[in-house]
Amino acid sequence: MEKIEQLEPYNLKEIVITIPARNEEKTILKTLESIKTQEPIDKEFLVIVFCNGCSDSTVNLCNQFKSTNPTFPIEILISNEDFINNVGIARKILMDYASNKIKGSGWIIMTDADTVFHSSWLAAYNQLLKTNFDLICGIIIPQTDKLSTLQLKYIKLTRTYLEYVAKLQRELYAIDIEGGPDHSHNSGPNMAIRGKVYKKIGGIPPLACLEDIALYNRVLESGLRIKHSHSPISFTSARINSRVRGGFGDELRNVENCISKKVEGVQGLISKFEAMSEIKDRYQHRDYYDLEALSSKLCISSAKLKDLFSTYKTYQGINLQIDCYLQSNKDWNYKYPKIQLEKAIGQFDYYYRFSQTTISYNSERYIDRNL
């Protein structure tokens, strides 16, 4: 990997901002300018742009930015290696490199080359250095000015549903995220991890897509401290010509199908979160016996539950496995069939309008005939 006019020497920094870029000539300067114009902070930071396999003007534009801003702390890395053929591999190489630039318990901040930021974005992460959290998930606001009416509707429905799910989870199953999550955002355009934690968990998985979610899950499964903060705010492109198959851009391209996609309904989520809360309590009290009632509730054999308790070192790890298992569990999905996105939001609207507690609510009895 060749470095383009790397600034030397570099001292270790408490904040390193990482930006993978592949053919981003239309947006990369806006991203860099947005960082340049951030409110001043009392810590030194470094921006690392990894130009991977670029065939447009991305590299030249980054060099131009560096030349015209000689005091701006930036490294520009470039590679044309064939094996770096997806964003997960590129982000792993970039973040592994960045982890060796971090001082003490500083942040590696993840973002993208089609993203800009609120003026206090960097100051927010600077303030969060003083906390005891290991991973920070910031707010991500899609830039929707070029989307169709149907695509806008899909984004609104998806965000509404995910925020409802996060709210219900806060009420029923706190996972040591200040009772959170406080919002549903946990992806690459706006997330930060302690450098030491990044190395401890083995870094980010080099997946073809959703590598950011996989990193989040690694931190969660390890029982480390996560904060869903409303302070760092980013604005990222909602482009439909995305570079990643299976990502958000694919959803927007296929919005007619996605808008009718099926998701978990309220009653299934209530049962799942209540069961996860019980697992948390049992794990903390080392109560791994008499699992029949819990087994029946989750449609999982007691032997499977005992195996999970003995295999995973945290209750978060157990519950991540259960959540994954339930997605394809025939008995569970027969008991709690998935429903269309709009109907699920209707269930949540009804639930929060008329139900005082989760105990007094029965979605199977009331919701379907009232929508």
Cα(268)–Cα(272) distance, integer angstroms: 6
Is residue 334 packed enough to be buried (19+ CB in 10 Å), middle (13-18) or exposed (0-12)? exposed
Cα(169)–Cα(161) distance, integer angstroms: 12
Residue type, 171: E
Q: What is the pTM of this model?
A: 0.87
Q: Which two tokens stand for residue 67?
A: 């030349």
Residue 252 confidence (pLDDT):
60
Cα(227)–Cα(278) distance, integer angstroms: 22
Residue 248 confidence (pLDDT):
58
Instruction: Write phi, then psi, for 141 (nearest 5 degrees).
Output: -105, 120
Contact in structure between 65 and 27 (CB atoms under 8 Å): no
| Terminal Cα distance for the chain, rounded | 58
pLDDT in tens, the chain (371 residues): 554 444 444 578 999 999 999 999 999 999 999 999 999 999 999 999 999 999 999 999 999 999 999 999 999 999 999 999 899 999 999 999 999 999 989 999 999 999 999 999 999 999 999 999 999 999 999 887 777 888 888 888 889 999 999 999 989 998 766 666 778 888 889 999 999 999 999 999 999 888 999 999 999 999 999 999 999 999 998 765 555 555 555 666 566 566 567 899 999 999 999 999 999 999 989 888 899 999 999 999 999 999 999 999 999 999 999 999 999 999 999 999 999 999 999 999 999 988 655 444 443 433 333 33
Cα(218)–Cα(204) distance, integer angstroms: 8
Residue 184 confidence (pLDDT):
85
Which residues have C-beta within 8 Å of that of residue 303, sequence separation ≥ 6?
A: none
Residue 8 confidence (pLDDT):
44
Residue 368 confidence (pLDDT):
38
Three-class SS of the chain? CEEECCCCCCCCEEEEEEEEECCCCCCHHHHHHHHHCCCCCCCCEEEEEEEECCCCCHHHHHHHHHHHCCCCCEEEEEECCCCCCCHHHHHHHHHHHHHCCEEEEEEEEECCCCEEECCCHHHHHHHHCCCCCCEEEEEEEEECCCCCHHHHHHHHHHHHHHHHHHHHHHHHCCCCCCCCCCCCCCCHHHEEEEHHHHHHCCCCCCCCCCHHHHHHHHHHHCCCCEEEEEEEEEEEECCCCCCCCCCHHHHHHCHHHHCCCEECCHHHHHHHHHHHHHHHHHHHCCCCCCCHHHHHHHCCCHHHHHHHHHHCCCHHHHHHHHHHHHHCCHHHHHHCCCEEHHHHHHHHHHHHHHCCCCCCCCHHHHHHHHC
